[in-house]
Structure 1
Amino acid sequence: MHVHTKVPHQSVKKTRNDILPHDGSTIARRIVCFMQAVSQSHNVSKHARSKMTPKFESMVDVGCGDGHSSALFAPYFNKVTGIDKSKAQVIKAEEYARTLDPKSSSCLQFQVASGENMPLRDSSQDLVCFSRSFHWMELMSDAMREARRVLKPDGCLAMYCTGFPKISKQLSPDEHASNVTVKKNKKANELLDNFFRHDCEIHPRSVLAVDDKYQKIYEAITVDHEPRKGSKFIIIDDKNLAIRKNFVTIREFAQMLQSYAGYRCAKITLSESNSQNDPLNDFVNNLKSTWSVDKLPNDEIYLDITWDVSLILSTRPAKLK
């Protein structure tokens, strides 16, 4: 297991998948329910869904990006600290916080920092959460040691990742679901997968999130409580969680894809070779052809989008093997 190995610096910066819609309230609630169960010594596998405890004191959102993931935890914590290595992202996070209601924004703060060197006191945090960011840590073992250092003895660790989105066409009032519809949606997702894997420049680290679903990371985490195998103190949930966004036009979806780092890197490579090809335009045209809507404008074709989520929940970690 070599998840702690440092990945060589790439000449072209590749950031984490940034096309996820800002709708992760279900994830935040699942994490807090786990914390509640741990704090009350309940069976954490049931997630203690019946009640929510009063607010926890403090948490850190590692790799907070533009702050949306941090804001999801505002209802559950008195203080939420978001950290990101990018100053530009921290500025965006601070700007976003100012758009929220005063009660939410007052508990949010953001700093430029890395997960391997958190600017936080020992044993000060109830939760350390890596929001789609753990696989981007330069040294994962160092990030895990930092998580242990800043967590309270009864604190919890959470990390989650998402796969590539899956799409289906929104049916119009005069359309009905059929085997033909299923086949067309299957073909549409094959086109989308090809776009990500072959037309874009997917970073090796993304494999941990997209294909491995954090399984190797899960297997590498050890906790203070034993036994490790089948332990209720560390769980992985990759079957029940998903983020959905409905009634998205093809135009809006294309704009999401334009923000994907792998696509931006591919565009740079194409421009350097003086190529006029645009894989995104090709994908959109092929998608419309698959759904037999070639003549419709992109803002009149609606999709449903689903992101599968893999979530690791743990009590205070001992180390990363």
Structure 2
Amino acid sequence: MANRFFEGAAHAAAYAKFRPLPPISLVERIVSFAKETICMNKNVSIKKTMQAEPLTGAADVGCGSGQSTEILSPYVKAVTGLDVSDAQVLEARKLSKHPNVSYKVSPAETLPFPDKSLSLVTSCQACHWFDMPAFYKEVDRILVPGGVLALYGYLFPKPIHKDYADDLYNLIDHLYKEQLKGYIHQGSKEVYLGKYGDEKYTLIYKDQLRDESHYVDKTATVAELTGYLTSWSGFQNFRAKNGDEAAQKILETFQDRFLKTLKVTTAPEETSIDLRFHYFLLMGRKPLE
């Protein structure tokens, strides 16, 4: 059964506002890998994969507020985002901009698609909450022969600064590992610390690859960076157990230390910082019949 750490409407809104969009280079790598099957079936040069016809159908499982779903729209005829949380799906529907994208409430372990009906299944920063054997069984059921499963995630944002990059990053790392110690779910550690390297994430298909070359840069205020931290499940666990006042104190302390490290006197809302999110990607292709 999937865990339900992202149920609250306020948490869903924070997730939508502060989480990064996947880099276009990563999405195009996924689509290119998936389109290789079309090229092989139609004897088209693999070098021209992105010019091949659009994929017929894709599902983005654990879609959250839709960042990783909407970005598939240009490459797939019909995209469905799925999440176990009603609040997340509601937020995704509110933000959706593409007519070929739809959203449904659904657990990862019972996917609402016919057998052999989709060309692509993706999951961004979500599968650590799944029952992986049950999820893999469902993916194998719904993928067409030659269809692709892509699992990916991103690490803590790394501040980009000519003088204080390491010191600023250490503040984020300290908050996660020390101040929220005891509130971090094991699955979260398997993303940020393990990059899905645990055996349970081993893909079920032999034709597979791992790619860690993609990243996205984002400029944010220190206040927005702090907002991103509130979207962590570990922070939400801390807040639920210790209350709003204690949670607010953690955030204020983080902001104060961050601004002091930057050696600025401007307000968090007026202080900008460049952040780099590094991604990791695992992909596997279902065998052709």
Q: Secondary structure at the match of 1:286?
A: helix
1:27 aligns with 2:26: yes
- Corresponding residue number in structure 2 for 1:278: 249
**Distance change >3 Å, CA 276–CA 316, structure 1 → 2:** closer
Match of 2:211 in 1: 237
Structure 1: which 5+ runs fail to align? 1-5, 170-176
Q: Give 1:190's match in structure 2, choosing from 167, 170, 195.
A: 170
Quote how far apart the aligned CAs of 1:256 are.
Answer: 2.1
Aligned equivalents of 1:218, 1:260: Cα separation in 2: 22
Match of 1:174 in 2: none
Q: TM-score, normalised by structure 2?
A: 0.86
Q: Is the 8 A contact 1:90 1:110 kept in 2?
A: yes
Q: What's the CA shift for 1:148?
A: 0.3
Corresponding residue to 1:213 among 189, 195, 217: 195
Residue 262 of structure 1 is matched in structure 2 by 234
1:172 matched to which residue of 2? Answer: none
The C-alpha deviation readout for 1:242-265, integer Å capped at 9, x for no partner, is: 12212x111222222223322222
Distance 1:236 1:23, change over 3 A: closer
Once the 2 structures are TM-superposed, how far is the Cα of residue 112 of structure 1 from its aligned partner?
A: 1.0
Select which of 123, 132, 137 maps to 2:116: 123
Q: How does 1:23-172 map to 2 (within 5 A)?
A: 23-41=22-40, 48=47, 51-97=50-96, 100=97, 105-137=98-130, 139-169=131-161
2:9 aligned partner:
none
Q: 1:297 to 1:64 in 2, by over 3 A?
A: same
In the superposition, relative to structure 1, how do residues 131 and 277 fare at CA in structure 2: closer, same or farther (>3 Å)?
A: closer
Query: Aligned equivalents of 1:278 and 1:107: distance in 2?
Result: 43
Give a deviation string over 1:39-87, Cα, whole Å, max 9, x none: 3249xxxx84774312111011101111221111110111111111111
SS in 1 for 2:275: strand
Partner of 2:186: 204
Query: Distance in 2 between the 1:154 and 1:54 partners?
Result: 15
SS in structure 1 of the partner of residue 156 of structure 2: coil
Q: Let me know the Cα RMSD of the aligned residues.
A: 2.7
What is the TM-score when the length of structure 1 is the normalising length?
0.78
Residues 156 and 269 of structure 1: CA distance in aligned 2, closer, same or farther (over 3 Å) = same
**Cross-structure match for 1:14:** 5
Q: Which has the greater radius of gyration? A: 1
Deviation at 1:143, TM superposition (A): 0.1
Letter in 2 for 1:59: A
Rounded Cα–Cα distance in structure 2 between residues aligned with 1:14 and 1:88: 11
AA of the residue aligned to 1:203: H
- The secondary structure found in structure 2 opposite 1:245 is strand
- Counterpart CA distance in 2 for 1:255 and 1:48 is 41
Between the aligned residues of both structures, percent identity stands at 24
Answer yes or no: is the 8 Å Cα contact 1:235–1:313 preserved in 2: yes
CA contact (8 A) 1:241 1:308 kept: yes
Question: Do structure 1's residue 312 and structure 2's residue 286 form an aligned pair?
Answer: no
Structure 2 counterpart of 1:237, which letter? D
Instruction: Provide the C-alpha distance between the structure 2 equivalents of 1:258 and 1:149, rounded to a whole number of angstroms.
Output: 36
**SS state of the match for residue 186, structure 2?**
coil
| Deviation of the 1:288 alpha carbon | 1.3
| 1:299 counterpart residue number | 269
**Does the C-alpha gap of structure 1 residues 130 and 219 become closer, same or farther in structure 2, counting only changes over 3 Å?**
closer
Aligned to 1:114, what secondary structure does the other structure show?
A: coil
Structure 1 Cα separation of the partners of residues 277 and 53 of structure 2: 30
Amino acid at match of 1:114: P
Q: Alpha carbons of 1:158 and 1:317: their partners in 2 closer, same or farther (altered >3 Å)?
A: farther
Q: How many residues align?
A: 274
Give the drift of 1:277: 6.7
Measured in 1, the distance between the counterparts of 2:257 and 2:70 equals 37
1:90–1:111 Cα contact (<8 Å) kept? yes
2:35–2:55 Cα contact (<8 Å) kept: no
2 CA distance for matches of 1:251 and 1:152? 45
| 1:227-249, Cα deviation, whole Å (9 max, x unpaired) | x4xxxx200112x1112212x11
Distance 2:246 2:214 in 1: 40
- Shift of residue 209 of structure 1? 0.9
Instruction: Name the CA distance, whole Å, in 1 between partners of 2:282 and 2:75.
Output: 19
Checking the alignment, whether the CA contact within 8 Å between 1:33 and 1:52 is kept in structure 2 is no
Structure 2's unaligned 5+ residue stretches are 7-11
